[in-house]
Amino acid sequence: DGGITQSPKYLFRKEGQNVTLSCEQNLNHDAMYWYRQDPGQGLRLIYYSQIVNDFQKGDIAEGYSVSREKKESFPLTVTSAQKNPTAFYLCASNNPGLGYEQYFGPGTRLTVT
């Protein structure tokens, strides 16, 4: 997990509340990603950003929003529009063109009741 931090590790929210998950990297990577992990479904891409002030929707962007104001930071907001937000959220980063492997943070487990 070295170089990428996510906070908090566990997060509990009431239904209808927006919540922001933090992701910070000190690897000087250009690209950052947010994935959602559910049991038996692997990783699904929510949003990704290839450069500061630019981001693109992934496969399951509905109900989520992101920003990329700084190279090292890529926060994810889970809005009340997300119908099933309880999941394990993983942030990753890489430098495309240098092997493409992604480096992951430790994850945030979000529980919404």
Partner 1 sequence: AQSVAQPEDQVNVAEGNPLTVKCTYSVSGNPYLFWYVQYPNRGLQFLLKYITGDNLVKGSYGFEAEFNKSQTSFHLKKPSALVSDSALYFCAVRDIFSDNNNDMRFGAGTRLTVKP
Closer to partner 1 at the Cβ: 69 or 100?
A: 100
CA distance 80 to 91: 20
Q: What are 80-83's contacts with CB under 8 Å, separation 24+?
A: 80/15, 80/16, 80/17, 80/18
Q: CB-wise, 85 or 107, nearer to partner 1? A: 107
Nearer of residues 65 and 104 to partner 1, judged by Cβ: 104
Which residues sit at the interface with partner 1, rule CB under 8 A? 1, 4, 6, 9, 31, 33, 35, 40-43, 45, 48, 50, 56, 58, 88, 90, 92, 96, 99-107, 109
Strands 76-78 and 19-25: antiparallel
